[in-house]
Structure 1
Amino acid sequence: MSKLSNLSAGAVPEEVVRAALRASRVRGVPVADVPLLAVAEEAGISRSTLMRRLGGTRRALDEAVRAAGVDPGGQKPVRQRAVEAAAALISEQGLASATLERVAAGAQCSVHSLYAAFGGRDGLLHAVYERYSPILDVEAVLAGPHHDLADTVREIYRLLVGSLSREPRVLPAMIADALSRPGDPMVQSVYQQFFPRMLSGIGQWLTDEIAVGRIRDLPLLLLTQQLAGPVFSHFLMRPAASRVPGVDLPTAEEAVEVFAQTFLRAVAVLPPADRT
């Protein structure tokens, strides 16, 4: 193998990488789909000169672009790969396992790329939580019309159940870390970012329901715990309970209906015609 063909990604001139990225943006295609002639023209050099600077192989350019934090094509974007890699680590081994080094290895990117995409570990963990928690979907439900209290409660429960049940089990792992290490700075970082947001959204909805007389005027924190606590308890323990001989678990939808009816009996205000 020639000396040129051994050229590392780090030895590809920066102006060549920038030219490839410009050509990619102009054409609206990944770098890997940009012809080398177009890259050469963007860099103001001949194709043969470009090939010499790449060591005779297109792969050197792709590796250099990837090292700069941009997916050249053929893979998911760095941000998506990193979020998925971090989610898998958290699900299997908890929050502490999601170091930037381990996430970079799982995502097949550099630590520098993670800093470029997320600004650091906190940003990465926030992105993971936003994707794998129900926060965005719950916010969307509560932002829309919700005239029927029972239907809204059921929809919130279904969203919670989905996040608690699907793989990778990010939300259960984060809850476990919060319960076992509540003072851990990493746990605090995630929860201080998102739990006030979740409580604010649900709290405003509950406040509105109190104002129109559909829910009893109780402390918001207790109402929120009454709403979510039973569902969290059941579906966090459900995987283990399913392996216990003689335990007959209801379906997820049956559980949702039972918890919804129980919550409504506890906090809903009956219409005057239904009062005895």
Structure 2
Amino acid sequence: MSNDDEPRAGAVPEEVVQAALRASRDRGVPVADVPLITVAEEAGVSRSTLMRRLGGTRRTLDEAVRARGVDPGGQKPVRERAVEAAGHLISGNGLASATLERVAVAAHCSVHSLYAAFGGRDELLYAVYERYSPILDVETVLAGPRGDLPDTVRAIYRALVDALDREPRVLPAIIADALSRPEDPAVQAMYQRLLPRMLDGVGRWLTDEMAAGRIRDLPLLPLMQQMTGPVFFHFLVRPATERLYKDELPTTEETVEVFMRNFIRAVATSPES
């Protein structure tokens, strides 16, 4: 059957749609999670007959259900479920807790499907970091139209703060692992992938700023650490300190402004930068 001959959502028999909705309601699961054999039994037909009425694809049933105002639902793809599951494991117990076996259990999939989706644990961990770290947000800041030096530093700081506050708290957990277990293979694998990307993003921007004469010519890695270190330290410990000094702490925006001004004063060639 060609695509033009496939049944459209509205062409799926009403009794089939109603059978799918009843089965979903009776089992307390989304329509997309009801096996087709169950839908067929509910409709009083064989599975092969049901498939003919659907044009050979489940998609037409899901579309017919959606056309009646019901979300067919269904699970997210394995890759997305695995990244979310690993993120929560890392947030709660660190990198070591995110084994493929534990991630598979939490994501309701098999270890084999994780290998198929990622190729191995290192790629899974890197996907988690990319999702929950500031790296994509910072790259977006640097790839788009940029303001002056203070505006760009301020935008990068906001991206860092957002990532540190993001749930699950993957970035703080990864930083804690890097500080406590720097020789851990998972930590090493992460930073082997991360550092070149940081140098290609923030490092290139800082190098361009030095070449343009807006900031002083300084060693790149210490310069990056000088830029990000105070922000990371403050916002990593802020959840603990604000319980003791809640009324004395400046707001997040005020704190970002303080660190931005301090960095500009320290490295800019002109105080007007």
Which TM-score bucket, shorter chain as reference? 0.7 to 0.9
Shift in Å, 1:200: 2.6
Contact kept, 8 Å, 2:33 with 2:74, in 1: the verdict is no
Contact kept, 8 Å, 2:142 with 2:201, in 1: the verdict is yes
Q: Which residue of 1 aligns with 2:88?
A: 88
Q: Does 1:179 align with 2:167?
A: no
Relative to structure 1, the CA distance from residue 214 to residue 102 in structure 2 (aligned partners, 3 Å threshold; closer, same or farther) is: same
Q: Aligned runs of 1:112-151 on 2, under 5 Å?
A: 112-151=112-151
Find the aligned partners of 1:189 and 1:175 in 2 and give their Cα distance: 14
Q: Which residue of 2 aligns with 1:210?
A: 210
After TM superposition, the runs of 4+ consecutive aligned structure 1 residues lying more than 3 A away are 26-29, 31-37, 47-51
Q: Which amino acid aligns with 2:144?
A: G
Q: Which amino acid aligns with 2:244?
A: V
Q: Which residue of 1 aligns with 2:222?
A: 222
Q: Aligned runs of 1:1-276 on 2, under 5 Å?
A: 32=32, 36=36, 48=46, 50=48, 74-244=74-244, 248-270=248-270
Find the aligned partners of 1:139 and 1:171 in 2 and give their Cα distance: 17
Find the aligned partners of 2:245 and 2:254 in 1 and give their Cα distance: 20
Q: Which amino acid aligns with 1:224?
A: M
Shift in Å, 1:36: 5.0
TM-score relative to the length of structure 2? 0.73
TM-score relative to the length of structure 1? 0.72
Relative to structure 1, the CA distance from residue 147 to residue 114 in structure 2 (aligned partners, 3 Å threshold; closer, same or farther) is: same
Q: Which residue of 1 aligns with 2:52?
A: none
Relative to structure 2, which stretch is displaced further, 259-268 or 216-225? 216-225
Relative to structure 1, the CA distance from residue 28 to residue 238 in structure 2 (aligned partners, 3 Å threshold; closer, same or farther) is: farther
Q: Deviations over 1:102-148 (max 9, x none)?
A: 11111111111111111111111011001001111111211223241
Q: Deviations over 1:192-237 (max 9, x none)?
A: 1112211331111011111111101111112111110100010111
Relative to structure 2, which stretch is displaced further, 134-143 or 244-253? 244-253
SS of residue paired to 1:88: helix
Contact kept, 8 Å, 1:241 with 1:247, in 2: the verdict is no
Relative to structure 1, the CA distance from residue 235 to residue 204 in structure 2 (aligned partners, 3 Å threshold; closer, same or farther) is: same
Find the aligned partners of 1:102 and 1:50 in 2 and give their Cα distance: 38
Find the aligned partners of 1:222 and 1:124 in 2 and give their Cα distance: 29
Q: Deviations over 1:8-53 (max 9, x none)?
A: xxxxxxxxxxxxxxx9xx9999x9499959xx9xxxxxx73759xx
Find the aligned partners of 1:177 and 1:36 in 2 and give their Cα distance: 46
Contact kept, 8 Å, 1:91 with 1:173, in 2: the verdict is yes
Q: Which residue of 1 aligns with 2:28?
A: none
Contact kept, 8 Å, 2:79 with 2:114, in 1: the verdict is yes
Relative to structure 1, the CA distance from residue 33 to residue 245 in structure 2 (aligned partners, 3 Å threshold; closer, same or farther) is: closer
Find the aligned partners of 1:264 and 1:241 in 2 and give their Cα distance: 26
Relative to structure 1, the CA distance from residue 252 to residue 27 in structure 2 (aligned partners, 3 Å threshold; closer, same or farther) is: farther
Contact kept, 8 Å, 2:36 with 2:47, in 1: the verdict is no
In structure 1, stretches of 5+ residues that fail to align are 1-22, 41-46, 52-60, 62-71
Q: Which amino acid aligns with 2:169?
A: R
